[in-house]
Amino acid sequence: MSTSSPRSSLLRKSLRDCYGPWAVVTGASSGIGQTIASELAREGLNLVLVARGETLGALGDTLKAGHGIAVRVLTADLSDPAQVDAVSADCADLDIGLLVAAAGFGTSGPFLRADSVQECAMLDLNCRALMLQAHHFGRRFAARGRGGIVLMASLVGFQGTLLAAHYAATKAYVQTLAEGLRVELAGSGVDVLASAPGPVRTGFAARADMRMGAALSPQTVARATLAALGRRTTVLPGALTKLLAYSLAPLPRPLRARIMGRVMAGMTKHQHEQNTSEARTEAKPA
């Protein structure tokens, strides 16, 4: 088996040359996952696209026609462990060498007002499903002597974050898992990378009920992430992410949490205004 990173030891090789002919991309129907899938297709990798979205088939057809690759489309809700297992089984016949675990979503607002069912679904998708995928494909990659695992973390995962406390906690899990696996699997020829972007302009904000100002493009995140695979443990994609991360890094964790809380307060200000307006309406006499 290989004892060095296939990417770092062969810097000029393509991702296909380093990891093999097939990649699995979860969360592939939109945002960062879709953009990474497009970048991998451009490099000539065959793709297994996994998501709940109805547009997945159209994306697969576009990538096949545009890049001459093979595509397998798997529609699955990865917050269900049985469907995670089904995806693994549906890939058993393929020479998979790369996993990009980009499926996930976030929530925002005061934790005590959160819908506990939705929070559990987020925990299952952001953490449990990701762990199961990393475990399954990590074992396959180690057995074949090479492979790559990309786990989508976040800038908010480096400290507690007011008004996104549970989402930030799920991303702290992802970050810590990636850091440990990077060292643990290095001797097996398997590269592991945590990608920890700041705000990204995708459908994420709408689902999380946040309104972003400055934000990264999915293309910036995708390209920086793939370029860093095999060369480092964590990538901070884009100038905005680096500015935020390096500004916060020297500060004590409690202060970083307060600062990030102010950022989140700005992104969720409309929630407070809406709640106040609704409360006033309910208080008016009939």
Among candidate residues 158, 72, 62, 79, the one with its CA nearest the CA of residue 123: 79
CA distances from 256 to 160, 233, 240 (A): 8, 22, 17
Contact 177, 133 (CB under 8 A): no
167 is annotated as an active-site residue: yes
d(CA 256, CA 169): 14
> Hey, how many other C-beta atoms are within 10 angstroms of the C-beta on 22?
20
Pairing mode, strands 234-235 and 147-152: unpaired
CA distance 118 to 154: 20
**Identified catalytic residue from 13, 19, 64, 171:** 171
Catalytic residue among 13, 64, 167, 242: 167
Residue 237: partners with Cβ closer than 8 Å, 6 or more residues away = 195, 196, 197, 216, 220, 221, 223, 224, 225, 228
Residues in the chain: 286
Alpha carbon distance 249, 189 (integer Å): 31
Buried b (16+ CB within 10 A) or exposed e, 235-264: bbbbebbeebbeebeeeeeeebbebbbebb
CB 109, CB 85: distance < 8 Å: no
Q: How far is it, in rounded angstroms, from Cα 225 to Cα 160?
A: 24
Look up 171 and say whether it is catalytic. yes
Annotated catalytic sites, by residue? 167, 171
